[in-house]
Chain A
C-alpha cells in the first residue's frame, strides 16, 4: 500500500466561463519514507498539486488514495481534520503569527486537536530544541532571523507527527546559508523515516531530495531518481 497514490488526477478552475486546466491527468505513487521534489516552472501546476496532496484543495476528477483510502471526495471539515492529523506544512513566507511567541506558534496546530495542554507544550518545546532554538522559545517571530523563522515553521510542521511534510519553496526567502540549514533539517527528517515532499522551481534545491517529479503545463514530464544528490551537511554547518 502506497502512502500517496494518484491516478489521472485533474484540476480545473472555472473563471467567467473560461476553464483553465491546471492539472491534466497526473498519476504517480509516493511510498512512506520517500523524499520527493516536485519541480517545475511557475504555472506548471506544482503548487496546485501540492495543495491537493496536502488536503488544501479538492481535485476535479481522478483518484486520490491516502494510506490506501480514497480521499477524493472529502468535505471541507474532513479535509481540515486530515491536514491537522496527517500533514505538516512549511511555507516559503514562513506564515508565523507575530503576536504569538515561537513556542505558541509551534503549538498552534495542536490547538485544533484534543491533546491536553501540558503535552502540547512539551512536544512543541522538544521540537524547538531539536531545531536548535531552545534559546528563542519566548521570542516573537519578528525578532528572529529568516533562518530561525523557518526553523520555527519546521518545528510547527512536525508538532502533530504528520505522515507527510510539505515544504513549499522553503529556501525561497532565505540566504544560502540559512537555506542549507533548512535543507539539512529536512534531510535529517527524512533519514529518521519521515516522508518529505519538497516543492521548488530550482533544480539545485530539488536535488536535495531522492526523487524528482518534474511538471510542465500540468503534466509530468520526468519522474526520476536523483543520481547525484546534494547533501546539505557537506556544504554548510548548522550554527545556533
Chain B
C-alpha cells in the first residue's frame, strides 16, 4: 500500500466521521490561523510605523528629556514627566549647532477643555515654535501660522488642526474667532490643512499655540517635552546628532563619562527602538498561537488513541492478513497528518481572510497599513500542521502497531 492509497483511505475515514474530524481539526485550524494573522498583523503594524516615518521625513532628529534605558525608549514616552529639557537648549542648538540643521521645532503639550461660545470640547494642544511648519513639512490651509515674535512673546493666538475646526466651527470660517482654554482667550489666526493620521499621532486634532504661551498660561511649566530638528541631508544625520549631543551635554553640565540626561535619536533609530517593542509583542502573540497548536496536537492524539481503540479488530484483521508493524504505523501516522494538514489548510485560508479583513478595516480607518502575507507564514502553517500530526500521531500509531493480532481479533 503506497502513500497515495494510504491518503485516500484516510480521506474516506475522515469523510465517514465528518463531525468528529472537524472538531479534531479545530485546534489546528485555530492555531494555524492565529499564526498567519499574528504574522500578517505584525508586518502590517511595522509597515504602518515605517510609512509614518517616511511621511514625516527620514531626515529628522528628535530629542526627548531623560536618559534612555537600554534598547528602549526613555521614560518620558510613557508619560513620566522629566523637566531637564528647556526652551533655551533648543535656542542654543539653533545658534551654535551644525550648519546642517535646517530648522528646529520645540514642543510641549497638554489637554484641556476648549470653549467656543457654548460649544465645549476636550482637545489636545501643542505649544510649539514658529518653525513647526517647516520642520513637520506641513501647510496652513487658511490664515497663517504664528510668528517668531508671537512664539517668544506669549501671544494669545492659536492655529487649529483640521479636525478641531470641523468640531468647533463646522462649516463656518474660524479665522478671527476666539476660543477659550483655561480662562485664556485665544485669537484664531489660522487653520491647518488636513494631514491625516500618521501612526499613533493625530496632528489634525491638535490646537497649536506659541510654546511660551503654553508653558506660562496653560501648563505653568518651564520645560519642553520634545525637540525635533530637520537636517538638510540624510548623510549629515550623524553630524547633526553629534553636534546636538555636545551642545546639550555642555549646557546640562554633564561630565565626561557620565550618561546623557536626554535621549537623542534620528527617526531611524527611533524606529529600531520601536520595532524591538513590536517584535517582542509579536513573539508573545506567536507563542500564544503556538500553544494553541500544541493543545490542538493533544486533541489529535486523544482522538487517534480513541480511534485505535475503536478499530482494534480492524487492526487485528490487517495484521492477520499480513500487515507489518510499519504498515499499521504508516496507516495511522498518515491518517493523523492528513487530519492536521486539512486543518492547516483551512487555518491558512481563514488566516489569510482575516488578515485581509483586518487590513481593509484599518485602511478604511485612514491608516497607511500594508497587507503583508508572507509565503513563509503559509509554508510554516502548513508544515507545522503536518508536523504536529506526525509528532502527536506517533504514540497512537505505535500503540496500534504493537497490538497482538490474536487479542485484537478477539476484542469486542
Contact = CB atoms under 8 A, between A and B. Distances in A.
B12 A56 contact: no
Contact of A89 (B5, B12, B320, B327): B320
Interface stretch (A75-83, A173-181, A195-203): A75-83
A81 B319 CA distance: 10
Interface string A88-120: 010100010101000000001101110000000
A180 to B, nearest CB: 26
A76 B325 contact: yes
Contacts of B323: 80, 84, 112
Nearest to B402: A76
Contact of A112 (B16, B314, B322, B406): B322
Contact of A95 (B313, B325, B326): B313
Interface in B344-384: none
The 9 closest A-B pairs by CB, nearest first: A84-B322, A111-B1, A109-B321, A112-B322, A80-B324, A83-B322, A77-B324, A95-B317, A112-B323
Contacts of A160: 322
A100 B261 CA distance: 78
A77 B5 contact: no
A215 B321 CA distance: 26
Interface in B1-49: 1, 5, 12-13, 16
Interface in B285-337: 313-314, 317-327
A83 B320 CA distance: 7
A76 B318 CA distance: 14
A56 B318 CA distance: 12
A85 B322 contact: yes
A112 B409 contact: no
29 contacts: A51-B406, A54-B320, A56-B406, A57-B406, A80-B323, A80-B324, A80-B325, A81-B322, A83-B320, A83-B322, A84-B321, A84-B323, A85-B322, A95-B317, A95-B320, A97-B314, A97-B317, A99-B12, A99-B13, A109-B321, A109-B322, A111-B1, A111-B5, A112-B321, A112-B323, A112-B324, A112-B327, A113-B322, A156-B321
Nearest to A47: B406
B314 A56 contact: no
A101 to B, nearest CB: 11
Interface in A38-91: 51, 54, 56-57, 76-77, 80-81, 83-85, 89, 91
A44 to B, nearest CB: 17
B405 interface: yes
Interface residues of B, number: 21
Contacts of B406: 51, 56-57
A229 B95 CA distance: 125
A109 B324 CA distance: 11
Contacts of B16: 99
A91 B318 contact: no
Chain A interface category by residue count = 20 to 34
Contacts of B319: 80
B160 to A, nearest CB: 74
Contacts of A97: 314, 317
A179 B118 CA distance: 102
A56 B403 CA distance: 12
A44 B92 CA distance: 110
Nearest to A91: B409
Contact of B318 (A51, A77, A108): A108
A95 B409 contact: yes
Contacts of A84: 321-323
Contacts of A83: 320-322
B325 A89 contact: no
Contacts of A77: 324-326
Nearest to B318: A108
A76 B313 CA distance: 18
Interface in A201-218: none
Contacts of B325: 76-77, 80
Nearest to B321: A109
B270 to A, nearest CB: 63
A160 B323 CA distance: 13
A77 B401 CA distance: 11
A111 B325 CA distance: 14
Nearest to B16: A99
Nearest to B323: A112
A4 to B, nearest CB: 18
A112 B317 CA distance: 12
Interface string B370-400: 0000000000000000000000000000000
Contacts of A95: 313, 317, 320, 409
A83 B321 CA distance: 6
Contact of B405 (A56, A109, A112, A156): A56
Given A89-B321, A113-B322, 4 more contacts: A51-B406, A76-B324, A80-B324, A112-B318
A97 B331 CA distance: 15
Contacts of B326: 77
A76 B405 CA distance: 10
A77 B319 CA distance: 10
A56 B321 contact: no
Nearest to B311: A97
A76 B319 CA distance: 10
Contacts of A113: 322
A95 B409 CA distance: 8
B34 to A, nearest CB: 34
Contacts of B324: 76-77, 80-81, 112
Nearest to A157: B321
A160 B320 CA distance: 13
A77 B405 CA distance: 12
Contact of A108 (B12, B321, B405, B409): B321
A161 to B, nearest CB: 13
Contacts of A51: 406
Contacts of B13: 99
